[in-house]
Amino acid sequence: MENILEVNDLKVSFNTFAGEVQAVRGVNFHVKKGETLAIVGESGSGKSVTTQSIMRLIPMPPGEIKGGEILFEGTDLAQKSDKQMEKVRGKDIAMIFQDPMTSLNPTMKIGRQIMESMIKHRKIAKTDAKKRAIELLDLVGIPKPEQRVDQYPHEFSGGMRQRAMIAVALASDPKLLIADEPTTALDVTIQAQILELLKDIQKKTNTSIIFITHDLGVVANVADRVAVMYGGKIVETGSVDEVFYNPQHPYTWGLLASMPSLDAEEGELQAIPGSPPDLTNPPKGDAFAARNSYAMKVDFEMEPPMFKVSDTHYAATWLLHEDAPKVEPPAVVQKRIEHFKEKAGER
Amino acid sequence: MLKYIGKRLLYMVLTLWVIVTVTFFLMRAAPGSPFSGEKELPPAIQANLEAYYGLDKSLFMQYVDYLISVVKWDFGPSLKYKGQSVNDLISEGFPVSFALGMEAIFLALALGVLLGAVAALRHNKWQDYTAMIIAVLGISVPSFIMASGLQYVLAIKWSVLPVARWESFAHTILPALALASTPMAFIARLTRSSMLEVIGNDYIKTAKSKGLNSTEITVRHTIRNAMMPVVSYMGPLISAILTGSFVIEKIFGIPGLGMHFVTSITNRDYSVIMGVTVFFSVLLLVSILLVDIAYSLIDPRIKLADKKGE
């Protein structure tokens, strides 16, 4: 399958009074046609900055793309002017934001908000656009779309607003959909519905999706592949099965161990100790070393390269070096993996 | 909606009654009378005059009489301008003040929103600083200095516009500009701060992610959401400007309503004081009602309907 998006060595910085914050420090990933890539990481790991850079939505200044390429269907978005980007945004790449309560304009009818990008990019008549808006509202599972199309956001519930937001994003049949924590602001039952909806839409329209989340439970549900980000870099990437059943990076272990689970035996919630690195002054070696109980001397001195685990699975940790001691993931993580496998078996 | 407006009208009548009552008794509490002057009038003439204008009745009876005439929208004869009724004074002065005021409001709104929007869109750039310097000048320079300055430069030095009087459209430009300068500056600052707040909102990012250009984003998404503070300022502004500014009308020799506000008080011209106060109050109450209706048109989240009815 061909790559619809290829990000090579992307570097994004913010120039602040405190100095240059290197929010994204050389990120590589790709997205294939029709697949879902999940980018996982804690707050401040650079996942949102990475995806907003793809759409060039970060404010510049203070933001700045320091280097690298963003190849969308072969053309480099990093080199495009703002005017040229207007033709890509909404038409080829669309975005769903985290908080549906604030990402819709409160004084504009839902229908008009959906129609806007259609009229702009597809140049279709208003009446046709409205028909299509009603179809889209129907597609995202909003009942009585003919009436809803003329309502304002405050007449929608949170979950309904996120559905409407998805309809806005789908308006011009984008080839790539970026969902930036689309379920974080919603309660759990609505979360599950929205995830189902996204999967459903992908099946129908064959759109590629980049799904940003800090919730590994969500990843297992929707993604084909996973990229784990930490300190502005991707530290592990692989298929969902590879990352869940055979995690290599100690940070991934930490994430897996800290997943809250109803049926886990251990009573305590495991947290990763310490706090994320200061990206105005990024650490020299592995950014995670300071919080890593498995860190070796080399971790503090040299940045680990991406070690190959399989053709699709890579991780940036010195533990994979041939000279490194053999380390097993902690017992909690091993238990979790067993648990995932059992659950997968049941399915 | 109709029910709401009906209810509001009822409240307006109540408010008006309070205003009439308070003004009536406050005015009478002030010492002096319309017939007191440097030369004492002979007591017989004084008594005759008072009888003619009904001032010899008890204060309470006068109040009742006045209430009845207000209901009939008849403010009685002026005590100082012989042979003219207060209704005449208002119907002569108000159209002039209205024309001048509308022009000033239009100028203030158009220029103010434009200036504020430019400042917000070019935040912390030279356009922002320039706009805000203009705004600070507009707020801090009193209108009579602005008026004299405009007269001096545009009428006397360059002689492009007439200095004063109220004759043609050209005569209206300078007073309208002078009258508009302060509200314009105020609107510019309100628009700027409110737009900066709106620009930071998530839905503006959504609009950008749809591929809209900055003009489309500003016109469709930013301005409307940023207009609320400006609209609330418009209520009192409209009635204040429409009833005329005393100073501006004096400087430009305009026969508007503003003059009567001030002179009637020093004249103790009871009926004129009451008349213009009631007239001003009605204007204020109506413009506040209009502002509230405008709110609900701009922001669909604001419902005019009675809460209990829902």
CA distance B195 to chain A (A): 14
Of the partner residues A87, A103, A171, the one whose CB lies closest to the CB of residue B203 = A103
Cα B304 → chain centroid: 24
B201 vs A contacts (CB less than 8 Å): 102
CA distance B258 to B104: 15
Q: How many CB pairs under 8 A join A and B?
A: 76
Mutation pick from A17, A72, A91, A107 vs chain B, by most beta carbons of B within 10 Å, is A107
Closest alpha carbon to B235 in B105, B70, B118: B105
In this complex, is the C-beta atom of A168 within 8 Å of any C-beta atom belonging to chain B?
A: yes
Q: Do A97 and B205 touch (CB under 8 A)?
A: yes
Model confidence pLDDT, tens digit, residues B45-101? 888 888 877 777 888 888 888 888 888 888 888 877 777 888 888 888 888 888 888
Rounded to two decimals, the ipTM of the complex is: 0.82
Residue with structure tokens 């409160």?
Answer: A106
Q: Do A107 and B298 touch (CB under 8 A)?
A: yes
How far, in Å, are A65, B201, B208, B226 from residue A59 at the CA level? 11, 13, 11, 21
**Quick one: which H or E segment has residue B242?**
helix B228-242
- Is A40 within 8 Å of A255 (Cβ atoms)? yes
| CATH number of the domain encompassing residue B119 | 1.10.3720.10
B211 vs A contacts (CB less than 8 Å): 85-91, 117, 120-121
Q: Do A57 and B203 touch (CB under 8 A)?
A: no
Q: Do B301 and A106 touch (CB under 8 A)?
A: yes
* Cis peptide bond prior to B183, omega within 30° of 0: no
In this complex, is the C-beta atom of B28 within 8 Å of any C-beta atom belonging to chain A?
A: no
Of the partner residues A103, A154, A171, the one whose CB lies closest to the CB of residue B202 = A103
CA distance B245 to chain A (A): 36
- Is A190 within 8 Å of A159 (Cβ atoms)? yes
For residue B224, the chain A residue with the least C-alpha distance is A107
In this complex, is the C-beta atom of A89 within 8 Å of any C-beta atom belonging to chain B?
A: yes
CA distance B122 to B119: 5
Q: Do B213 and A97 touch (CB under 8 A)?
A: no
Model confidence pLDDT, tens digit, residues B115-169? 999 999 888 889 999 999 999 998 898 888 888 888 888 888 888 888 778 878 8
Taking a contact as any Cβ pair under 8 Å apart, which residues of chain B between 225 and 284 contact chain A?
225
Mutation pick from B123, B198, B199, B210 vs chain A, by most beta carbons of A within 10 Å, is B210
Split into its structural domains, chain B has a count of 1
Residue B301's domain spans which residues? 1-310
In this complex, is the C-beta atom of B224 within 8 Å of any C-beta atom belonging to chain A?
A: yes
Q: Do A107 and B206 touch (CB under 8 A)?
A: no
Average pLDDT score over residue span B37-42: 73
What one-letter code names the amino acid at A52? Answer: Q
SS3 B71: helix
CA distance A154 to chain B (A): 7
Residue with structure tokens 């002026």?
Answer: B78
Buried-state track B7-38, b at ≥16 Cβ within 10 A, e below 16 = ebeeebeeeeeebbeeebeeeeeeeeebbeee
In this complex, is the C-beta atom of B210 within 8 Å of any C-beta atom belonging to chain A?
A: yes
In tens digits, chain A (347 residues) has pLDDT values of 688 888 888 888 888 888 888 888 888 888 988 899 999 888 888 888 888 888 888 887 788 888 888 888 888 888 888 888 888 888 889 998 888 888 999 989 999 999 988 888 888 888 888 998 998 898 888 889 898 999 999 998 888 888 898 888 888 888 899 988 888 877 888 888 888 888 888 888 888 999 898 888 788 878 889 999 988 888 889 888 888 888 888 888 888 887 776 665 556 777 777 778 887 777 777 777 778 777 777 777 778 888 887 888 887 777 777 777 777 777 777 877 887 777 777 65
Q: Do A105 and B301 touch (CB under 8 A)?
A: no
Q: Do B211 and A91 touch (CB under 8 A)?
A: yes
CA distance B287 to chain A (A): 23
Residue B309: per-residue pLDDT: 38
In this complex, is the C-beta atom of B125 within 8 Å of any C-beta atom belonging to chain A?
A: no
CA distance B243 to B261: 9
A154 vs B contacts (CB less than 8 Å): 300-301
Burial class (CB in 10 A: 0-12, 13-18, 19+), A126: exposed
How far, in Å, are A135, A145, A206 from residue A112 at the CA level? 14, 13, 25
In this complex, is the C-beta atom of A167 within 8 Å of any C-beta atom belonging to chain B?
A: no
* Cis peptide bond prior to A62, omega within 30° of 0: yes
In this complex, is the C-beta atom of B208 within 8 Å of any C-beta atom belonging to chain A?
A: yes
CA distance A69 to A95: 20
Whole-model pTM: value is 0.77
For residue A54, the chain B residue with the least C-alpha distance is B209
Average pLDDT score over residue span B277-306: 82
CA distance B126 to chain A (A): 16
How far, in Å, are A335, B69, B80, B270, B286 from residue B273 at the CA level? 88, 15, 11, 5, 20
In this complex, is the C-beta atom of A47 within 8 Å of any C-beta atom belonging to chain B?
A: no
A120 vs B contacts (CB less than 8 Å): 210-212, 216
Task: Pull the structure tokens for residue B211.
Answer: 């591929």
For residue B213, the chain A residue with the least C-alpha distance is A86
Residue B307: per-residue pLDDT: 47
Q: Is the pLDDT of residue B310 over 60?
A: no
Instruction: Read off the pLDDT band of B41 (50, 70, 90).
Output: confident
CA distance A195 to B85: 76
Q: Do A104 and B203 touch (CB under 8 A)?
A: yes
Q: Do B300 and A102 touch (CB under 8 A)?
A: no
Residue A287: per-residue pLDDT: 77
Of the partner residues A86, A107, A152, the one whose CB lies closest to the CB of residue B211 = A86
What one-letter code names the amino acid at A10? Answer: L
